[in-house]
Amino acid sequence: MSKRISILIFIMSLLSVLAEAASVRISVSPQRGKSKIEVGDLFYLSIDVQDATVQPKAPELSGARLVYFDMMSGSASTYTVNGVTRGSYSGRWEATYRATDAGSYTAGPVAIGDARSNQVRYSIGGVGSSQDQGGSRRNAQQNAGSQQDQDSSDDSKPKFIGKGDANLFLKASVSSSTVYEQQALVYTLKIYTTYDGLNFLGATSSPKFDGFVVEQSDDISTSWSFESVNGQTYKSAVVARYIIFPQMTGSLRVVGNTYTVSVSQREYYHDEFWGSLSYTTPLQLNVTPNDLVVNVKALPEPKPADFSGGVGKFSISSHLNNKDFKTNEAGSIVYTVSGSGNLKYIELPDLDALYPPEIEVTTPKATQDITVGSSNTSGKVAFDYSFMPLDEGKFTIPEVKLVYFNPETGKYETSVAKSYSINVGKGSAAASSVPRAPRFDSDLMKVDNSRLIKSSRPWVTTFAYWLFYIVPAIALAVAVVLYRRYVGMHADMAALNMRRANKMARRRLNKAAAAMAKNDREKFYDEVLLALWGYLGDKLKMPTSELLRDNIRQVLTDRNISAASIDSLIAEIDNAEFAKYSSAAGSESLSQAYDKATDIINALEKEFRKSNSKQD
């Protein structure tokens, strides 16, 4: 018995010595390859432990959220004495965090058992604040949106709505920043990304081409290519291309449209045994390209009197089937304009004024065969004229000139369709029996001076005159009231989106129903996930970056949403994401998934209303 007591006393003494010898030290380091921590970056908290009696845990850090925590090296053991289990832990543990808020913070002290660590300070800068590798990448992103390298205005930089970084952006460009009026201009929109996978790309609106006539080109990229932007290599592809024709002079602005992009984001962390490891998570970005300004010059003056309105490079030809005609019998001549430029807007001279008076010419029928290419619109337009000889004899159909402006030479140029000599014989009816166009007779326009009004009341004294001032004044007052009301309603976009959350979710579910009818599983689960995530983001006024399951569960619980509804929501999101991102089919049919999503949103909407009524 005394021997056992001696052993127990020895073990207790040993444990006391170990507890006194336990030590903890922490340190903070930025993402590998960087010297500073920025918002959106990963950074690491190392915990060095010596002879601790309990296993370390990752602490909560201000301005960041925990991504991963594991033991990097060392040893851990446990033993039991008289039913009491104790441990001994030595080595290094590493916690990986994602920086969320800029500022200066303090980590520690970290308590492990009776041991307490030191304190360390760390700073998180805004996006683009550092000048290291990561900062250069963000600078590449900001500069990539410029129309020209020397253009440093804010309009020339990519814009981000929601969460965005240098891994993905849109760049708009035009083939020339200075053009002539009506000259063809190519507007190209390209996407640049370093993400592994791009799962969805959709435009929420169209670009605004105010002052332009637009032709959309189908010449876009179907595969990725690689480009270097300010030293950073990106995958790139053309997502849209338009041929635009300015209709007025001056500085015209092209406003880019917003695209919703779903990508697979790769997260990295370090394991002492396995080295660098990674995993992917879905990420949705809303990205807008840079706006552009085009300087439009007027066509040189003086313009030729017979200018056709064509700007580009064209030629004209003619075709006449027969050279022998009879009076009062219709013939046909076709003038074909071919080339590249604003073909649709070319007008031929007035042939009725060019042709001999013995030949009547009717309005032509135009047939267009135009292709919208990658750099211009090209093809041909055929003008089919019908004409009728009224008298017998030999006549000349004159040559027809097409005067157009060539922006390459900066000059007006002329193309000529050849002339024809025709013979007109006597037709079935005498020429004199054919009614001619009447000429103007001044005797038909005599004015009765006795019916002229000799005196009149000045218009300025009439009610109609002042009505021109009263009506615009009333309209302006109404417009001001309506505009102030509109601004008030839209001042808080988050609140507006919250009120419209249910409506927007139902629209997306309607799209999911349409995809279900076509048995398009990928499109169906895209829309279901957009409906569920979008409803939560709008209803809870949360940005996309904070839509995490733990955050959602906490916020919904704080809003007095039942645990059953929360569990159903998260379970349905998991099922939909499993069905979308896994090669295996989901555990439920499309109709079941659709019904569950609808029921979940309806249930949440009722509970939100009930919660709001209690708060009121």
Least confident of 50-54, 403-407, 510-514: 50-54
Convert the pLDDT of each residue in 243-264 to its tens digit: 999 988 999 999 988 888 887 7
pLDDT value of residue 295: 94
The tokens for 535 are 């409803």
Q: What is the rounded distance in angstroms from the CA atom of residue 580 to the CA atom of residue 348?
A: 58
Strand segments, DSSP code E, in 272-330 are 275-288, 292-297, 307-320, 324-326
Q: What is the rounded distance in angstroms from the CA atom of residue 525 to the CA atom of residue 570?
A: 15
φ, ψ dihedrals at 95, nearest 5°: -110, 130
Most confident of 290-304, 421-435, 578-592: 290-304
**What is the sign, positive or negative, of the torsion defined by CA atoms of 423, 428, 433, 438?**
negative
When pLDDT is averaged across residues 101-108 and rounded to a whole number, the result is 88
Residue 430: pLDDT over 50: no
Residue 169: pLDDT over 90: no
Q: What is the rounded distance in angstroms from the CA atom of residue 516 to the CA atom of residue 598?
A: 14
| Displacement of CA 229 from its chain's centroid (Å) | 20
φ, ψ dihedrals at 224, nearest 5°: -80, 150
Q: What is the rounded distance in angstroms from the CA atom of residue 129 to the CA atom of residue 145?
A: 19
Convert the pLDDT of each residue in 415-425 to its tens digit: 999 999 999 98
Convert the pLDDT of each residue in 15-32 to its tens digit: 554 444 678 888 888 876
pLDDT band at 204 (very low <50, low <70, confident <90, very high): confident
What does each C-alpha distance from 196 to 200, 235, 285, 472, 526 come to in angstroms? 13, 10, 15, 58, 19
Is the pLDDT higher at 537 or at 4?
A: 537
Is the pLDDT higher at 15 or at 286?
A: 286
Domains and CATH numbers, the chain: 18-125 (2.60.40), 133-297 (no CATH), 307-433 (2.60.40.740), 494-615 (1.20.120)
Q: What is the rounded distance in angstroms from the CA atom of residue 337 to the CA atom of residue 344?
A: 10
For the whole model, what pTM was predicted? 0.46
Question: Residue 162: which residues within 8 A CB-CB, separation 6 or more?
Answer: 284, 285, 286, 543, 544, 545
Convert the pLDDT of each residue in 312-357 to its tens digit: 999 999 999 888 888 888 888 999 999 999 888 898 988 888 888 8
Biggest CA pair distance of the chain? 149
When pLDDT is averaged across residues 531-541 and rounded to a whole number, the result is 81
The length of the chain in residues reads 616
With residues binned 3-state (H G I as helix, E B as strand, rest as coil), the percentages for the chain, rounded to 5, are: 30, 40, 30
pLDDT band at 146 (very low <50, low <70, confident <90, very high): very low
